[in-house]
């Protein structure tokens, strides 16, 4: 990046990533904004905002970049909403928030912008859900979050919005994970984050939600991945540059983390890096025992895992609580099927479930059920995960992926 900054507003439009505002060194704040061209791997300055802002929320809709609320250097929340037009390289003020907000979170879903929480005029954490319709240039209010908080994250996955972490002032970070469904205006409390933290950076990628970094009570390098399909978390490689107040945006090949603070409090950086989560994708989600068929696994390990050994294991008794071996949390409950997947790896009914990841850190494997498989298995859900093997590590386990479900139908 051109400008070292933290507590930034960031969003993606096409092959460009936009970052605006934030703290500079010495608690100065900036109106500057930048664009990252993913094709050229290059940052460029764009027209500055109308005024300096830090701790603003951001989202993109209709090809425009919106910066929402934030602070103006004195930690008092503002209501301004500014829209950036990339084609004109210019900003426009649109309808302000109904109430001032700073350190909130915003996303776009279905053409509307959703803003969650943040601090209000009195400095206390709030639980509001505010909804902006660009077509009407108007705000409305949705159902309150179950948990009031600020310095939180929000991530869109399918038809839902997941609101994560944050704090309620002082040094009490939260592990909250709450799902908002706009179609019904309802909230659901889900499995909490393993590590309570705030001011982290989050994005959805390959069917998972990645939460990295953050602060309070310490600076975190923790990188935790949530699987909405199983409502379960697992840990992955820590951030190479621990920081808080960074922007996170999902690209085609990974998640871009831009800027942030290198120490708890103030310590802005120009650092930009991309993380490709290791994961397991599996399809189809169900198989008929009568008809039989193939269940395909795609293992994503990233280039760091290229050439490493792997094995795909399974369980018939669910992914939770799983077990820990060699410090690695495996989201599979050991049972007879778990043992079978290991003793019969890469043997029928399994294909290539034990092997070596290719140069890109990927592999393909399968489970094939013959027609007329025992109908007594109907209603059972199997879960599979892949583990990276390292013979130099006690217990041989060096990594475990998410667990992917397979429902067995009559």
- Given this model, what pLDDT does residue 389 score? 94
Considering the domain architecture, whether residues 115 and 170 belong to the same structural domain is answered as yes
Q: How many domains, in total, are found in the chain?
A: 2
Find the mean pLDDT for residues 302-323.
92
Return the CATH number at 362. 2.60.40.10
In a domain, 301, yes or no: yes
Name the band, by pLDDT with cuts 50, 70 and 90, for residue 253. confident
Residue 329 pLDDT greater than 90, yes or no: no
**Above pLDDT 90, what percent of the chain?**
85
- Given this model, what pLDDT does residue 327 score? 79
Considering the domain architecture, whether residues 139 and 40 belong to the same structural domain is answered as yes
Last residue of a domain, one of 275, 296, 331: 275
Residue 169 pLDDT greater than 80, yes or no: no
Considering the domain architecture, whether residues 291 and 271 belong to the same structural domain is answered as no
338: containing domain: 279-409
Return the CATH number at 100. 2.120.10.80
Find the mean pLDDT for residues 388-405.
89
Considering the domain architecture, whether residues 121 and 212 belong to the same structural domain is answered as yes
- 27 vs 220, higher pLDDT: 220
Find the mean pLDDT for residues 25-46.
96
Last residue of a domain, one of 275, 299, 317: 275
22-26, 167-171, 320-324, 375-379: range with lowest mean pLDDT = 167-171
Question: Residue 179: CB partners within 8 Å, gap ≥ 6?
Answer: 160, 161, 162, 163, 187, 188, 190
Q: What tens digit of pLDDT does each residue of 217-241 get?
A: 999 999 999 988 888 888 888 999 9
Last residue of a domain, one of 243, 275, 307: 275
Find the mean pLDDT for residues 380-409.
92
In a domain, 1, yes or no: no
pTM value is: 0.86
Q: What tens digit of pLDDT does each residue of 330-378 get?
A: 989 999 999 999 999 999 999 999 999 999 999 999 999 999 999 999 9
Find the mean pLDDT for residues 114-142.
97
Considering the domain architecture, whether residues 292 and 169 belong to the same structural domain is answered as no
Considering the domain architecture, whether residues 259 and 310 belong to the same structural domain is answered as no
- Given this model, what pLDDT does residue 68 score? 98
Residue 74 pLDDT greater than 90, yes or no: no
In a domain, 237, yes or no: yes
- Given this model, what pLDDT does residue 370 score? 97
């Amino acid at each position: 990046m051109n400008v070292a900054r933290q507590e930034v507003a960031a969003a993606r439009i096409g092959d460009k990533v936009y970052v605006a505002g934030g703290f500079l060194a010495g608690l100065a704040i900036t109106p500057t904004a930048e664009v990252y061209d993913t094709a050229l791997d290059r940052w460029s300055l764009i027209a500055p905002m109308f005024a300096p802002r830090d701790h603003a929320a951001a989202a993109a809709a209709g090809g425009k970049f919106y910066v929402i609320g934030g602070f103006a250097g004195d930690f008092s929340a503002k209501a301004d909403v500014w829209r950036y037009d990339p084609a004109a390289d210019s900003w426009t003020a649109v309808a302000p928030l109904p109430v001032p907000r700073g350190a909130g979170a915003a996303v776009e879903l279905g053409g509307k912008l959703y803003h969650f929480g943040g601090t209000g005029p009195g400095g206390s954490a709030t639980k509001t859900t505010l909804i902006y319709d660009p077509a009407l240039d108007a705000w409305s209010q949705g159902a309150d979050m179950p948990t009031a908080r600020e310095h939180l994250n929000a991530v869109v996955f399918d038809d839902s919005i997941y609101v994560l972490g944050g704090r309620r002032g002082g040094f009490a970070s939260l592990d909250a994970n709450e799902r908002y469904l706009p179609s019904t205006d309802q909230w659901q409390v889900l499995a909490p984050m393993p590590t309570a933290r705030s001011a982290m950076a989050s994005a959805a990628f390959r069917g998972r939600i990645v939460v990295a970094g953050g602060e309070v009570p310490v600076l975190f390098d923790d990188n935790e991945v949530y699987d909405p399909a199983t409502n379960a978390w697992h840990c992955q490689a820590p951030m190479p540059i621990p920081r808080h107040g960074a922007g996170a945006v999902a690209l085609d090949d990974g998640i871009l983390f831009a800027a942030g603070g290198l120490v708890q409090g103030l310590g802005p950086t120009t650092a930009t890096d991309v993380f490709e989560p290791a994961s397991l994708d599996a399809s189809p989600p169900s198989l008929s025992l009568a008809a039989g068929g193939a269940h395909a696994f795609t293992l994503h390990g990233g280039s760091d895992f290229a050439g490493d050994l792997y094995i795909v294991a399974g369980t018939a008794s669910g992914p939770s609580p799983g077990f820990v071996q060699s410090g690695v949390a495996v989201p599979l409950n050991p049972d007879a099927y778990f043992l079978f997947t290991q003793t019969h790896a890469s043997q029928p009914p399994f294909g290539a479930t034990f092997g070596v990841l290719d140069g890109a850190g990927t592999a393909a494997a399968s489970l094939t059920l013959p027609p007329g498989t025992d109908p007594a298995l109907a209603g059972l859900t199997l879960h599979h995960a892949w583990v990276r093997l390292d013979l130099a590590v006690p217990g041989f386990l060096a990594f475990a992926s998410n667990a992917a479900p397979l429902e067995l139908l009559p």
